């Protein structure tokens, strides 16, 4: 069987502007190969590289990746330590490659739990890549959708108390403007790998009208062809935004 050409939909249709991915299944991938969970997470980084590059080539505006949820802090200290170490290594080793690919970076989440070194590397990486104008890569680390909503509420409350915002003027767009993804297009497509059918406190506010795509592939096996399949499925969806078929 000949393999389908990557990005073959590209000539007819625009890719989704903003794709978000819950990268799940690293542990099960490792288990299936009788390897330690750490190998699953390491292999998962290879999928990240492939998908970031492919999104850049397809002309996707923003890719948001769920790397580490606020609830993942409740895993064993061994695994949390491992994930922190991997985050550190990725920040150290990948920034130059991201720069070569004209990628801009934003890290969202409560970064205060990370070591000072990780926090500094995260800020430095964002700074180093800030003048690029290719793909916007957003990494959600120690991120929770509920945390993000509470943070927006807090920022608005402080501005209201200081007299910078009239509480009567608080609406959905003002709320959105105070959220972590305020500077990016709306999330068109949310993908979750590994067969779990839940959001696990990832983006909550932002997925009001996102198309949801679940696949059984474990994240370390997710590649460019899998992403193309998700995008093709997205193109077959009819997005009505509350209107009726065909209404403009």
Catalytic residues: 24, 72
Residue 28 contacts ligand IPE per CB under 6 A? yes
Residue 22 contacts ligand IPE per CB under 6 A? yes
* 101/17 Cα distance (integer angstroms): 18
* 36/244 Cα distance (integer angstroms): 50
Among Mg ion, ligand IPE, none, what does residue 119 contact (CB within 5–8 Å per kind)? none
Helices (H), 33-105: 37-58, 77-100
Binding mask of the shown chain, residues 50 to 79, with x at each position contacting ligand IPE by CB under 6 A? ----------------xxxx--x-------
* 29/11 Cα distance (integer angstroms): 34
Among ligand IPE, Mg ion, none, what does residue 62 contact (CB within 5–8 Å per kind)? none
Q: How far is the CB of 187 from ligand IPE (least distance, A)?
A: 16
Q: How far is the CB of 24 from Mg ion (least distance, A)?
A: 4
Residue 83 contacts ligand IPE per CB under 6 A? yes
Helix (H, G, I), strand (E, B) or coil at 33: coil
Q: How far is the CB of 107 from Mg ion (least distance, A)?
A: 21
Size of the site for ligand IPE (CB under 6 A): 17
Q: Cα angle vertex 48, ends 83, 226, to 5°?
A: 130
Burial of 103 (0-12, 13-18, 19+ CB in 10 A): buried
Residue 24 contacts Mg ion per CB under 5 A? yes
Q: How far is the CB of 218 from ligand IPE (least distance, A)?
A: 7
How much of the chain is helix, strand and coil, in % rounded to 5? 50, 15, 40
Query: Which residues of this protein are in contact with Mg ion, per CB under 5 A?
Result: 24
| Binding site residues, ligand IPE, CB under 6 A | 22-28, 66-69, 72, 83, 194, 196, 198, 200
């Amino acid at each position: 069987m000949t393999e389908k050409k990557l990005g073959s939909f590209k000539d007819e249709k625009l890719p989704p502007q903003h794709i978000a991915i819950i990268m799940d299944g690293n542990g099960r991938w490792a288990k299936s190969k009788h390897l330690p969970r750490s190998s699953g997470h390491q292999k998962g980084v290879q999928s990240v590289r492939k998908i970031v590059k492919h999104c850049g080539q397809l002309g996707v505006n923003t890719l948001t990746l769920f790397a580490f949820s606020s609830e993942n802090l409740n895993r064993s200290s061994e695994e949390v330590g491992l994930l922190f170490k991997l985050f550190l290594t990725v920040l150290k080793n990948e920034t130059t490659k991201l720069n070569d690919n004209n990628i801009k970076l934003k890290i969202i989440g409560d970064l205060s739990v990370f070591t000072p070194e990780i926090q500094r590397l995260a800020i430095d990486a964002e700074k180093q890549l800030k003048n690029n104008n290719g793909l916007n890569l957003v990494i959600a680390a120690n991120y929770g959708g509920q945390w993000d909503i509470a943070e927006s509420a807090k920022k608005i409350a402080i501005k209201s108390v200081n007299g910078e915002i009239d509480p009567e003027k608080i609406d959905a767009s003002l709320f959105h403007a105070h959220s972590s993804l305020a500077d990016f297009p709306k999330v068109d497509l949310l993908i979750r790998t590994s067969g779990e059918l839940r959001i696990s406190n990832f983006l909550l506010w932002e997925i009001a009208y996102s198309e949801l795509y679940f696949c059984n592939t474990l994240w370390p096996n997710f590649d460019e062809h899998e992403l193309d399949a998700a995008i093709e499925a997205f193109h077959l969806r009819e997005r009505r935004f509350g209107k009726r078929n065909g209404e403009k």
